[in-house]
Structure 1
Amino acid sequence: MSLFVPRPRDPRRRPTASFTVTRTREASVVNASGELDLAVAAQLAALLAEELCRLPPALICDTSAVEFCAARILTVLIDAVADATVARVPFAVAGRSRGLLRPIAALELEQVLPVHRNVADALSWIALAAHPASPDTR
């Protein structure tokens, strides 16, 4: 078993994160960028909850521009999966950035929190999950 020791962050650089929401007919997409740490976890959780209250056709969290992701953010995303399931809103995470994939792999969460390559792949996965091919149509 190898032990991973993260590289220390530059103390002169303040972690920054930003969020935007794009709504289309297919889905609401919450775009996250920058460094997602404990300081922005509540903001992301509130934003995802707000979008779920709107009951969009699907909700996608796009993390393609994420540089760093704290474990607390993974908890926010896992909670969003559960909340979306209760609300019957398909939820997916898109954007296979290294900053997101490293903590998911380190915590062995690949099965709980699958990450799609991009928003288009996430939408395709959601469409397949909503309308699986029946044995008669193959």
Structure 2
Amino acid sequence: MSSMSLPRPRDPRRRPAASFAVARTAGASVVTVAGELDLTVTDRFAALLADELDRRPPVLVCDTSAVEFCAARVVTILLDAVADATAVGVPLAVAGRRRALLRPITALGLGDRLPVHRTVGEALAWLARSPAGSKRE
């Protein structure tokens, strides 16, 4: 008999709980997400981004720099948010080049549609240089 190594399931007691925060200034809104973005929290994440877009901030940044795990659904939520932001005229950028987020984006060839900046500062600078971001200033 050959022994096959199967991945161990994650221990839910050791998972960093997902957390969400929003910081608003006159110039931008930053939605910060952290921890494990699994299927139990993706609806909440999508609703948070939609609510923030409804506020029509000058620019919106989604900070994923503290994300430890990212379900594939999160990439879809981010792509939908970019489309929704474009439709309402809110420039949106993603910050936090963590492997958990970059791996599915790279594997699916979505880097052009969903660029991820290293930091919130870099994302804000990119938005300020973009035509959509400079129109809002």
Query: Which TM-score bucket, shorter chain as reference?
Result: 0.7 to 0.9
What one-letter code is carried by the residue in structure 2 that aligns with 1:42?
D
**CA distance, structure 2, for counterparts of residue 103 and residue 8 of structure 1:** 21
Return the offset for 1:106: 1.6
Return the offset for 1:124: 0.6
Return the offset for 1:13: 3.1
What one-letter code is carried by the residue in structure 2 that aligns with 1:100?
L
Runs ≥4 residues deviating over 6 A: none
State the identity as a percent.
60
SS in 1 for 2:40: helix
Structure 1 length-normalised TM: 0.85
Return the offset for 1:9: 4.2
SS in 2 for 1:127: helix
Task: Give ranges in structure 1 of 5+ residues lacking alignment.
Answer: 1-6, 133-138
**CA distance, structure 1, for counterparts of residue 14 and residue 76 of structure 2:** 22
**CA distance, structure 1, for counterparts of residue 70 and residue 12 of structure 2:** 19
Task: Give ranges in structure 2 of 5+ residues lacking alignment.
Answer: 1-6
Tell me the equivalent position of 1:113. Answer: 114
**CA distance, structure 2, for counterparts of residue 46 and residue 27 of structure 1:** 18
**CA distance, structure 1, for counterparts of residue 37 and residue 106 of structure 2:** 17
**CA distance, structure 2, for counterparts of residue 120 and residue 43 of structure 1:** 25
What one-letter code is carried by the residue in structure 2 that aligns with 1:11?
D
